[in-house]
Chain A
Amino acid sequence: DIQMTQSPSSVSASVGDRVTITCRASQGISSWLAWYQQKPGKAPKLLIYAASSLQSGVPSRFSGSGSGTDFTLTISSLQPEDFATYYCQQANSFPLLTFGGGTKVEIK
């Protein structure tokens, strides 16, 4: 089974900050990685798919990069509505999926 490890588990940041979240796969997954944003009491929302493709309607301040085992999600200028928990998800073995443990972005 492919394991996904996110870091950090939480990050404190201010509005306007650049935030980077890392996701590492236990084995190579090519570019089959997605990122989701989840706010309290809500379903996750797809932000990025295939490692770097922006889902329709998602602001351009979100970007993804990486391939193989190491991936990053970057928020270029953190906005108040971006405070949430972010999850990565591998899809190399689609439709078998694995999520990372999550990264909570908190207000500093």
Chain B
Amino acid sequence: QLQLQESGPGLVKPSETLSLTCTVSGGSISSSSYYWGWIRQPPGKGLEWIGSIYYSGSTYYNPSLKSRVTISVDTSKNQFSLKLSSVTAADTAVYYCARHVYSSRGMDVWGQGTTVTVSS
């Protein structure tokens, strides 16, 4: 059974870079059927798609975050990662990683989420 697990610091200082990794287990990140994405949810608010990556390394970003976001993939470790630079308190959120299915275009497997707080 495919599982996704987010990991990374829970506290980041303002102006610094937030870094998270999603580890995929129970399946290969290199499947041609899937993309891999990051989504976040500020406290008490809705979901915001951050960006996605294909195993080949092709990336797609939310235009509103594009200037600060970098998503990368490491197929040898079955992981993909998120970097968000110049963070502010507005970037405080639960960050989820998820699998996109190309055929259905839905996100069918999600990580449990990790809370990141931006504070000095």
Interface majority SS on A: helix, strand, loop or mixed? loop
Hey, what's the 0/1 contact readout for B100-120 against A, CB within 8 Å counting as 1?
111011111011110000000
| In the assembled complex, A87 has its CB within 8 A of some CB on chain B | yes
Q: How many residues belonging to B are interface residues under a CB distance threshold of 8 Å?
A: 26
What is the CA–CA distance of A66 and B62 in the complex, to the nearest angstrom?
Answer: 25
What is the CA–CA distance of A99 and B102 in the complex, to the nearest angstrom?
Answer: 17
Residues of B within 8 A of A91 (CB): 105-106
* Shortest beta-carbon distance from A73 to chain B in Å: 13
Contact (Cβ within 8 A) B100 A94 = yes
- The closest CB in chain B to the CB of A6 belongs to B46
Interface residues of B (CB under 8 A from A): 35, 37, 39, 46-49, 52, 54, 60, 62-63, 96, 98, 100-102, 104-108, 110-113
Interface residues of A (CB under 8 A from B): 1, 32, 34, 36, 38, 42-46, 49-50, 53, 55, 87, 89, 91, 94-102
